[in-house]
Structure 1
Amino acid sequence: MAFADRAERTPGMKLAFTILVAALLAIPLFSVYLLAYDRENQSRTAIASIAEGWGGPQTIAGPILVIPYQADATETVTEGGRQVTRTNRVWRELELAPDVANLESSLAPERRKRSIYEVVVYSAHTAGQARFTLPADLTRYGVTADALAYDRAELRFGLSDARGLYGPPPSVTVDGRSAKLQPGKGPDETGGSGFFAPIDASAIRDRAIAAQFAFDFRGNGSLTLSPRAGDTRWQVTSPWQHPSFQGGFLPTGHATTSDGFRANWRVGNLALGTSLVDTGTPADPNRAAAGNVAAGPGTHQASVALITPVDLYAQVNRSVKYGFLFIGFTFMAFLLFDVVGGVRVSAAEYLLVGAGLVLFFIMLLAFAEVIGFTAAYLVAAAAIVALLTAYSAAVLRSRRRAGYIAGLLVALYAVLYVLLSLEAYSLLIGSLLLFAALASVMYLTRNLEWGGRPAAPEPAV
């Protein structure tokens, strides 16, 4: 290597050597990418720790009216080498989804911090009304109205993480009469987690019955609704300014202002592809123990997430992917000063400049976790530009040439910030930038003999 530095190299050899040094810098650049990934995992672990005990991403479901009934069940067994058919009376459940359900949820967000990590949690208040009617054609489901045990009916509500219930106990009234609540027996959509109210639903034989309910709970990340009614209307309001609407059903209308957001959903059971009536076996009494499992937004759910406007780890990871552009453009500038301006640049100097460019991304990650991405970007960029400008003045033996390097770095960092901010146009801007750079290099080296041999004189015309 020392001999190569002392020997006179052709411009082509200098180009190849510069590319080799740049390729070697891919190793620390990839290490920075892995560092950002590791810090992101640590952040997720810290966020989960902060939110522990507060409540996870919540899913609400119901109410569902469940009325038990007795039915005949046949089974065939073998006794004494003969098959014997027996008929037993078993309990089954008739599940009735409401004809109409109106729900209103208000979310009060709160930022909670531990060390340098921060998570957005919320306190929610949900209130609503539901109307239930008994289908006139119950016989088509294999059930008769007289077989139903109306006095053993239950009104069931689902909450995926029931630990999040807080404040006054949930309030449930049926036809104006308050109902006592018990834990568990939530719908399948919440893994059996939730609460229920034993009621006497005898009035449903003659008319519709109405239920009113209200409850407070805590959660973090997102709130999801699993609609079941014939006509479900859900309104969500919050002072949070950065909602993300997810799931299989998007809002029919929403508005986001500086004061927060308001969103409305309206979902019918025809869109859900489910019947308002379902029959099945009794619920497993131990199923509630399987609750506390947050159901993510699915194709039959509506969901809203409270997101942070800037995911700093995603931004840092994206910026690292542009690291080769920084190294390539800066090295190309030094190479042009070398082969065109006659200023010799050694391998060690290329490596030191490259190390400074890689250090930018480490500083960006470290500062972003403390002061935010934008401020960290300005601090890291200013530090690296100042460092490399001062070093370039010594390497290139000219403050004027160092000024060109400073201008190039400032332009690169400005363009990178634009690329990170305008994700949809990053490919377009990046390709135009590469085109302009290639055109500039072609123009500046148009008369350069890369092999180091003088150009042959052109024949006279």
Structure 2
Amino acid sequence: MNQNPPPGGTPPPIPRPPHHPSSTSIPPQFVPAHTGTAPRQSISLKILFIVLLSLLLLIPDMIIYSLNDERADRQKETTQEISKSWSGPQLLSGPIISIPYITKNNRNKDSIGGTIRLLPATLNACADIKSQTLSRSIYETTVYNADVTLNGEFDMHALKTTGIPVDRMLFSKAYVTVGIGDLKGVETINPIKIGQTEYTLDGTSDEDVYVNVTFNNNTDYTKFSQTEYEVEVVDIDDYTSSTSGCMQASISIDSTASATIPYSIIMHIRGSQSLGVTPIGAESTISMAGICKSPSFSGMVIPTERNIEADSFSAKWIVNSINRDYPQSFIGDKPYKISRSAVVTNMLVPVDRYQKTSRAMKYAIIVVLLTFISVLFAEIIVKHPINMFQYLLIGLALILFYSLLLSLSEHMQFGLSYLIAAIMTIGLISIYMLGVVQSRRVSITIGIVLSIIYTFIYVLLCLETYALLTGSIGLFIALATIMYASLKINNKGYRLQ
């Protein structure tokens, strides 16, 4: 209805239509908690930035990884230096009787044709070991003293298998040898008794029948060089012609007196890392026992009997000649075959901190991505944008965890080091998130998420057989949780509810 204005009066106000939100109004889905003109960022850009930042953080992660390897190499070098000063890994082989024989040359004259090696018919070896730990700086290695007894019998009938006539064997020039890894480790040794006669052993390294090859925990072979004092890991078929230490004495044998000849020898030796004995008898019984906190057994066969207690152990091997690949008598040298048949007790310090730290760092990318995704969800929930620099600081805190873990584990147990480093990292990020988003609920939630992640990673480090299965199931659950949470986010990165 039209109303005419009164003459000379003020026209009435024109009524305005009701206000409706227009397309130019601020969308109600996202209202920043703070005032300002900061531009909106879509979820796609944020995800792209998170991926790029995660890849960038692999650079400091690799730097710490290289530092971990460097410290592990330093640990090995220190162990070798201590072994050089004390004595290297010891490998006992023998006794072996060597008998030269003559042959006819082209001029029908006698000449030395070679050497026959006679191994014992029975070998009873007993070693009483007392280990101790030597330290240099933060690195440690295990050394030991051992009282060793070797006794048994030689069977002269075994010489017939060589095919050399007895009348060509020079029994007057026979000698007995006992191989040992490092002569420097022989503190005292009694004369060896062959039959009813005692012979004094002298040190030599001229015999090629011995080579000092022992086994480490990875079932590779560790060769200790007596002259260069270097420990080198080699493959099974990758040997050199260098010989180990050897003790030797000239003996007199009457081949017609008896078919069996008893022998015995007692020695006190010292060494480091491992003690091995070769089962050269047709029937060999080897016993090792003593004081050691962390013994392990390796070599051709594992012990037939073993018992490990808190600070002591005992082990027993029973090996027959059929278990080896060399006979009781032969012509020439068989150094590698003899050494490869050794049974070994390892007395290494259980230093696995570098290995576990290395394994933990392989999960770094997973920890970073899961943490960034959690922070992204927190940003969307509280409707408070978190800038890229703040994401970078959170990522650096996650990488710093591994530096803390490495440095702490060198001074305390790995489990305790992991706990302290995790608490420091979780506390730092949680408090920082509280200051960024001003939400105690979000801060606590991030702390819980990080606690779950670090606990899960520690469980994987402790597992061996089921580590892959547990890790796969854990990642499946994490991905399913993220997929479910992403259903509440639209393509622009704003919550729909």
Q: Say if 2:217 is the partner of 1:165.
A: no
Relative distance call for 1:171 and 1:407 in structure 2 (3 A) is farther
- Please list the CA deviations of residues 333-374 of structure 1 after superposition, one character each: whole Å capped at 9, or x if unmatched: 101112343221111111111111111100111111122322
1:17 counterpart letter in structure 2: F
Task: Give the superposition deviation at 1:234.
Answer: 0.7
- Please list the CA deviations of residues 101-138 of structure 1 after superposition, one character each: whole Å capped at 9, or x if unmatched: 11011221111001111111111221121211212772
1:141 counterpart letter in structure 2: T
1:352 counterpart letter in structure 2: L
Matching residue of 2:379: 338
Q: Say if 2:445 is the partner of 1:445.
A: no
Q: Say if 2:374 is the partner of 1:322.
A: no
Cα distance in structure 1, aligned partners of 2:83 and 2:258? 47
Relative distance call for 1:255 and 1:413 in structure 2 (3 A) is same
Contact 2:285 2:317 in 1 (8 A): yes
1:440 counterpart letter in structure 2: T
2:180 counterpart letter in structure 1: L
Q: Determine which of 36, 40, 46 is the counterpart of 1:14.
A: 46
SS of the residue 2:382 aligns to: coil
Larger mean CA deviation between 56-65 and 128-137 belongs to 128-137
Task: Give the superposition deviation at 1:415.
Answer: 1.8
Q: Determine which of 204, 224, 232 is the counterpart of 2:276.
A: 224
Q: Say if 2:167 is the partner of 1:146.
A: yes
Larger mean CA deviation between 367-376 and 33-42 belongs to 367-376
Task: Give the superposition deviation at 1:6.
Answer: 4.4
Contact 1:249 1:299 in 2 (8 A): no
Contact 2:285 2:318 in 1 (8 A): yes
Matching residue of 1:77: none
Cα distance in structure 2, aligned partners of 1:41 and 1:211? 44
Q: Determine which of 36, 45, 56 is the counterpart of 2:88.
A: 56
SS of the residue 1:106 aligns to: strand
Q: Determine which of 428, 431, 453 is the counterpart of 1:387.
A: 428
Q: Say if 2:302 is the partner of 1:280.
A: no
Cα distance in structure 2, aligned partners of 1:337 and 1:23? 22
Write the mapping of 1:74-223 to structure 2, written as runs, cut at 5 A: 74=106, 87-90=109-112, 92-135=114-157, 138=160, 141-166=162-187, 168-184=188-204, 185-186=206-207, 187-190=209-212, 191-202=243-254, 205-223=257-275
Task: Give the superposition deviation at 1:250.
Answer: 1.7
Extract unaligned runs of 5+ from structure 2. Answer: 1-36, 213-242
Task: Give the superposition deviation at 1:381.
Answer: 1.6
Cα distance in structure 2, aligned partners of 1:296 and 1:132? 20
Contact 1:18 1:335 in 2 (8 A): no
Cα distance in structure 2, aligned partners of 1:454 and 1:280? 84
Contact 1:224 1:296 in 2 (8 A): no
Q: Determine which of 53, 57, 69 is the counterpart of 1:25.
A: 57
Relative distance call for 1:345 and 1:160 in structure 2 (3 A) is same
Task: Give the superposition deviation at 1:280.
Answer: 3.4
Contact 2:68 2:406 in 1 (8 A): yes
Task: Give the superposition deviation at 1:169.
Answer: 2.9
Cα distance in structure 2, aligned partners of 1:110 and 1:445? 58
Q: Say if 2:284 is the partner of 1:262.
A: no
Relative distance call for 1:136 and 1:212 in structure 2 (3 A) is closer
Relative distance call for 1:380 and 1:343 in structure 2 (3 A) is same
Hey, which of these two has a bigger chunk of helix by percent?
1
Q: Determine which of 385, 396, 416 is the counterpart of 1:355.
A: 396
Relative distance call for 1:33 and 1:204 in structure 2 (3 A) is farther
Q: Determine which of 278, 288, 303 is the counterpart of 2:344.
A: 303
Task: Give the superposition deviation at 1:226.
Answer: 2.3
2:473 counterpart letter in structure 1: L
TM-score w.r.t. length of structure 2: 0.80
Contact 2:127 2:288 in 1 (8 A): yes
Task: Give the superposition deviation at 1:395.
Answer: 1.5
Task: Give the superposition deviation at 1:94.
Answer: 1.9
SS of the residue 2:416 aligns to: helix
Contact 1:134 1:204 in 2 (8 A): no
Relative distance call for 1:91 and 1:454 in structure 2 (3 A) is closer
Contact 2:278 2:343 in 1 (8 A): yes
Task: Give the superposition deviation at 1:309.
Answer: 3.5
- Aligned-residue RMSD, C-alpha: 2.5
Contact 2:275 2:346 in 1 (8 A): yes
Q: Determine which of 323, 326, 329 is the counterpart of 1:271.
A: 323
Cα distance in structure 1, aligned partners of 2:354 and 2:337? 23
2:73 counterpart letter in structure 1: N
Larger mean CA deviation between 54-63 and 235-244 belongs to 235-244
Matching residue of 2:238: none
1:247 counterpart letter in structure 2: G
Extract unaligned runs of 5+ from structure 1. Answer: 75-84, 284-290, 456-461
Q: Say if 2:286 is the partner of 1:234.
A: yes
Write the mapping of 1:425-440 to structure 2, written as runs, cut at 5 A: 425-440=466-481
Matching residue of 2:441: 400
Relative distance call for 1:354 and 1:374 in structure 2 (3 A) is same
Relative distance call for 1:298 and 1:7 in structure 2 (3 A) is farther
Contact 2:158 2:328 in 1 (8 A): no
Task: Give the superposition deviation at 1:311.
Answer: 0.9
Relative distance call for 1:266 and 1:454 in structure 2 (3 A) is closer
Contact 2:182 2:244 in 1 (8 A): no
Cα distance in structure 2, aligned partners of 1:17 and 1:46? 44
SS of the residue 1:424 aligns to: coil
Task: Give the superposition deviation at 1:306.
Answer: 1.6
Cα distance in structure 2, aligned partners of 1:129 and 1:446? 78
Relative distance call for 1:228 and 1:214 in structure 2 (3 A) is same
